[in-house]
Amino acid sequence: MAECFLAVDYGSKRIGLAASNQLGLVMPLDFIENDSGKIKKLRQIIQTRNIQKIILGLPVALSGREEIAAQNARKFAAELAALCLPVEFYDERLSTAEAHKMMLQYGLSARERRTKVDSLAACILLEDYLRARSAE
């Protein structure tokens, strides 16, 4: 059986989430607000879904440089240490753009896209991570 992973697309307002199950299937989860209760909410998700590892999206610029968003993700990783799980960074370059493109293709309204983009980006991130991992 495969490990269960939690992908995290960290944002200043919302945190997009996706999880894989023991069969390796990836599903988007509802985003959580980036507020003082985020670690408690993540702990509940981790316990409920038997998560063994967190995959944290690292928003690297197209140039390959780490800018403010990547620095913020690294700071958030320090907060995730409270969950006592391994955290692995994974390049999430263009995952949000890809999520927007997919939702436009399916005709989602601007409001629907706004509420789903973070978790869909996390889903894309986790699928990419699992694909790369299986290629090793």
Q: Own/partner pairs for 104-108, CB < 8 Å, 24+ apart?
A: none
pTM here is 0.87
Q: What are the backbone dihedrals phi and psi of residue 80, each rounded to the nearest 5 degrees, phi first?
A: -65, -20
Rounded to an integer, the average pLDDT of 4-24 is 93
6: three-class secondary structure by DSSP: strand
Query: What pLDDT sits at residue 99?
Result: 65
Query: How many beta carbons lie within 10 A of that of residue 26, not counting itself?
Result: 19
Q: What is the pLDDT of residue 19?
A: 97
pLDDT on residue 48: 95
Nearest to 85 by CA among 77, 74, 94: 77
Check if the beta carbon of residue 122 is closer than 8 Å to that of residue 8.
yes
Instruction: Phi first, then psi: give them for residue 91, nearest 5 degrees.
Output: -60, 120
Gap between the Cα atoms of 110 and 136, Å rounded = 38
Cα dist. 40→37, 53, 114 in Å? 5, 16, 24
pLDDT the model gives residue 133? 84
- Identify the architecture of domain 5-135 in CATH: 2-Layer Sandwich (3.30)
